[in-house]
Chains A and B, each alone.
Chain A
Amino acid sequence: MSSAALKFSAVSKTFTDGRQVSALDDVSFSIQPGRVTGLIGPDGAGKTTLIRLAAGLLLPDAGDIRVLDIDALAEPLRVQSSISYMPQRFGLYEDLSVQENLDLYADLQGLPVLERPARYAELMQMTGLSPFAQRLAGQLSGGMKQKLGLACTLVRSPRLLLLDEPTVGVDPVSRRELWQIVYRQVQEAGMTVLLSTAYLDEAERCDEVILLHQGKLLDQGEPAKFSRSVAGRTFRVSTQTLSHRRLQEALSRAPGVLDALIEGETVRLVMETAQPPTAERLLPGQTDINISAVEPRFEDAFIARLKVRRTDAPQVEFTPPSKIDAAAGDEVIRVDKLQRRFGDFIAVNNVSFSVRRGEIFGLLGANGAGKSTTFRMLCGLLPVSSGELAVAGYDLRRAAATARGRIGYMAQKFSLYSNLSVRQNLQFFSSAYGLRGKQQKARLDWALTTFELAAFQNANAGDLPLGYKQRLSFAAALMHEPDILFLDEPTSGVDPLARREFWARTNALAEAGVTVLVTTHFMEEANYCDRLVIMADGEVLAAGTPLDMKMQARTVDNPDPTMEDAFIQLIEQRQQSSEVEA
C-alpha cells in the first residue's frame, strides 16, 4: 500500500505514425495526495500522452501506472470512475445552455439528483457563472468556456483531477480565476491535481513541478528548488548609450552569458556561473552600464537547464530593405477608427493606432480580442466595415498587386504547403514574389543557411518538427525582403527556446529597418515590442510602450509589476468603469 496518488514506474510510450515517435521514455515519478503538481514542458514534450496514460485512456508500451492505488493497466474503467479528466479541448455542447451542460455531465457521471442543487450552487458561485446559467455555451467567451468546462469536470468531486493545458489561450484574468478554483478544490476537498501547461510562469503557482522534455523526465521538485539552481546568476543590465536590441545582441555574445532576454528597456541575463559580471568583462569599451542582481525565476532555471550555449549559431544578417521610399514619411501603418462587424457581432470596434518605420509594434490580447481580425484587414484579406487604414500608404485590399510585394505575412497557424518539400515551398513563394534566376538562388541559399533548414530541404514541410515549421514560415515570408512584416501569433505553441531564437531574428530585422507588426497572447512577449496596444473585446484598452503600461500598474505592494499584472489591472479598470456606467 503506497500513499502516492499517482505513480508511474519506468513508463514508455511510442507512437507509430509513419515514423516512430517516442512520446515518453522511461518516465518514473510519484505525486503526493492533496497537492497541485504542474507538468511543465514545451510542446511535444509528452505532456498530453502522460495525462492520457494516467486517465487510463492509453496503454503504455512498458512500465506500470498506479492511480489512487488502482492498477491503471488492469482496471482502466475503475480508474476512470474515480478521477476526472479535462482534455485540452473540453467537449462542451455549444448549443446547450450552461445549466444544460452541467446537467448533462451530472447525468453522464451519475451524480445523484439529491446532491445536485448543492453542488451546482457551489460550482456556479466558484466560477462566477450564475448570471449566465441560461446562456448558450457557444456564446461564452473563451475564459468562461474554460471555466464551464472545469465546472463540468468537477461536477462529481473526484479524488484526482487531471487537467490538460487548462489555461491555453485564456486571458490573464480568467487564467488567475481558474487557478483560484483549482486551489479551492485542493484546500476544501483535499483533491489531488495534476495539470499540464506550456506557460513557464505558471510553474511557480504549483506546489510541485515535473519537468518534461522530449519525452524524458528531467526533474521533479518544488518550483523554488528550480529557481534556486540559478540563484546568484540572474542580472538586469541597462544602458543609455545603446538601443536595448543592440544591447541584447551584444550581451548574448558576451563571455559567460547563458541567456540574454529583452525586458522592456533592459536586458535580463542568466550567467553560466554565480560570479557577478562586470561591465568591463561583458561589454569591453562600453561605459554607462548598470548591472543589478535580480531574483531568479523558474523560466531562468528552465532555460539554464535546456539551453546549450552555441558558438556556431549563424550570424543573423539582414540587408536593410532597399525598397523604402523616403517620400512615404515615417508613418508606415496607420489605422483610424477601424471597425469590423460580422452580422450583429462587432469583432473590431473603433481601433486606431499608427506604426513607425523600424518599429516592433505589438497587438496584445486574449483569444477573441479582435487581434487577428484587425490583422487580416491590414493585410487586405478582409474588407473593413468602416474606418480607414493604410499600409505604406495603401489600402492593400484595393491597392495594386505590386504593393503587396512590400509586405511579408506569417499566418497564425502553419500555412505553407505540407506536401511540398522545404525547398519547393521556398521556391514557390520566391517565384510568386517575382524573384528569379541568380537572385532567387541567392535568396534560397540565404534562407536555408540563416534558418538552418539545409538539412531538411527535401523533407515535406508538413513532417517538420513544430519549431522548424515556424522557421520555414518565417523564411518564406522574408524571401522577397519585405520592408513591412506581419506576424500573427508567430510563437504560439513554440517552446521557449525556439521563441528566443525567433525573437532574436525579429530584433535583427527591426534593427535593419524593417517594420514589424506582431500579435501575441503571451503577455511577457510584449517586452520585445517598442510600442503596443492591448485589445479586449475588439477595442483598444491601452496603447504605449511596455514600460508605460507597467508603470501604470505599479503599486506599493507590487513595485515591479509584470506585463500580465498590467493587463489584469486594465481589465479590472474597464469592468469597474462599465459597472459605473451601468
Chain B
Amino acid sequence: MVFRQIFALAIKEFLALLRDKRSRFVIIGPPIIQLLVFGFAASYDLNNVPVAIYNEDLGGASRELVSHIEGSPNFEVIAYIDHDSEVAPLIDNRDVLLVLHLGQYFSSDLLLGNSASLQVILDGRNSNTAMMAMNYLNSIVLDYNLSWLASRGKSGAFATLQTRAWYNDNLQSNWFIVPGIVGLLTLLVTLLVTSLSVAREREAGTFDQLLVTPLRPMEILIGKAIPGIVIGLLEATLIIVVMVVLFEIPLRGSLGALYLGIGLFLLSAVGVGLMISAISVTQQQAVLGAFLFMVPAIVLSGFATPIANMPPFVQWLTYLDPLRYFLVIVRGVTLEGNSYSLLIHQYWPMAIIGFVTLSLAGWLFRHRMY
C-alpha cells in the first residue's frame, strides 16, 4: 500500500514537471544546446592559427620552409611583412598569434652546412594557446629538417619519434570532451529537477498539504527521487545516442558497465539535489544551491583540467566529487572499452557518496520541516 502511495507521488511529480511549459523546456532545451555548444565549440585543437611571415631571406631554402607552413592545416598565413616595425601592431591587435622571422642568411647558412636559426615572436597572453602553436611549429620545422637532409642525401643522425596514440588515434580533443558532457549534463538536469522539487512546493504552499498526508518524510523523499533518476537516465541515454551518432565517438565497452555507472552516479546526484532542496526555502535559493555545487564539482572532476595537476590538498577534495568517478567510467567505457572489473574502484565510492547524501537528505527532511 505504501508503494502505491509513493508511486502516486512520483506520478504527480512527473505530471507537475511535464505539464508546465517552462520546466519542460528546462529539461529538454538547455541540455541540447549545451551538448552542441560543447561538442562543436569546445576543443583543444588549434586550427587556422593566424600567422605572419617576416622573411628577409631570398633563398630557396626559406621559401620551402614557408611553403611548409602555408600548407599546414594548423596555420593560416595572413600577412607577409618586410619590416621590424610591422611586428608589434600585428601581435598587439591580435591579428596574428605568432610572427616567424627568417633572417637574411637563413638559406646561405643552410647551404654552407651550418645551422640556421629562426625567430618566433609569440603572443603569450594566452599561454596555453601559445604553447600549442609553438608545438605545431616545432613539428613543422622538424619535418622540414628531415626532408632537407633527405634531399641532400644525408640521413639524420638523431633519433626520431614514431607516435601511436592509443584509444584516440588522431588525438581529437572532442573524443575527450564529449563523453565528459554525458556526466556534466546528466548531473545538471538531475540536480535541477530534484533541488527545485521541494522548493517549488514550499513556495506554492503545497508542501504543508503534502506533509499532513499519511506519507512519511522518507516516502516523500523516495517519491521525489524517482523522477530525478528517471529523467537523469533518459537524459544520459539521449546524450549517449547523440555522442555516438553525431560526434562518431566509439562505444567500445559494455553498455551494462556504463549504465551501472550512470545508476550509481544518479543516486549521488539525486542525494545532493534533495539535500539542497531540503535546505532551501525558495526556488531561487535552490537554483543557487545547485550551481554552488555544480561549479566546483565540474572543476574538481577532471572534466577540463587534469586532476594530477592540482595541489595534493585539492586532489583529496576530488574524492568527494561523484562526477570524478563517473568521468573515469564514461571515458573508460567509450574509449578504452573497459568492463565491470576494471571500473570497480569507481563504482563503490559513488555508491558510498549516494548512500551518505541520500541519508543526509532524509535527515534534513525530517528536521527541517518548517
Instruction: Give the B-binding residues of A (Cβ under 8 A).
Output: 376, 379-383, 396, 401-402, 404-405, 407, 409, 411-420, 424, 427-429, 431-434, 436, 460, 476
Contacts and interface: CB of A to CB of B under 8 A. Distances in A.
B114 to A, nearest CB: 80
A407 B208 CA distance: 13
B210 interface: yes
Interface stretch (B1-9, B44-52, B93-101, B264-272): B1-9
Contacts of B9: 428, 432
A432 B208 contact: no
A302 B20 CA distance: 40
Nearest to A431: B8
Interface stretch (B11-19, B103-111, B158-166, B316-324): B11-19
A409 B9 CA distance: 18
B208 A417 contact: no
Given A396-B212, A434-B4, 5 more contacts: A402-B214, A415-B205, A419-B19, A428-B12, A433-B213
Contact of A432 (B204, B210, B370): B210
Contacts of B212: 379-381, 396, 404, 407, 409
Given A381-B370, A415-B205, A436-B4, A420 B214 contact: no
A95 B16 CA distance: 38
B345 interface: no
User: Is chain B's binding surface mostly helix, strand, loop or mixed?
Assistant: helix
A109 B366 CA distance: 51
A432 B215 contact: yes
B4 A431 contact: yes
A379 B357 CA distance: 29
A333 to B, nearest CB: 15
Contacts of B11: 428
A9 to B, nearest CB: 41
B252 interface: no
B150 to A, nearest CB: 73
A340 to B, nearest CB: 10
Contact of B16 (A380, A383, A411, A417): A417
Nearest to A404: B214
B12 to A, nearest CB: 4
Interface of B: 1, 4-5, 8-9, 11-12, 15-16, 19-20, 204-206, 208-216, 369-370
Nearest first, the 3 A-B pairs at minimum CB distance are A431-B8, A415-B205, A432-B213
Contacts of B206: 415-417
Nearest to A432: B213
A427 B12 CA distance: 9
A403 to B, nearest CB: 8
A382 B370 CA distance: 6
Given A431-B8, A432-B213, A432-B215, A381 B15 contact: no
A379 B209 CA distance: 10
Given A376-B370, A381-B369, A383-B370, A424 B12 contact: yes
A428 B8 contact: yes
Contacts of A432: 5, 8-9, 210, 213-215
Nearest to B7: A431
Contacts of B215: 401, 432
Contact of A401 (B4, B15, B208, B216): B216
B223 to A, nearest CB: 9
B211 A380 contact: yes
5 contacts: A376-B370, A381-B370, A396-B212, A417-B204, A431-B4
A483 to B, nearest CB: 14
A420 B213 CA distance: 18
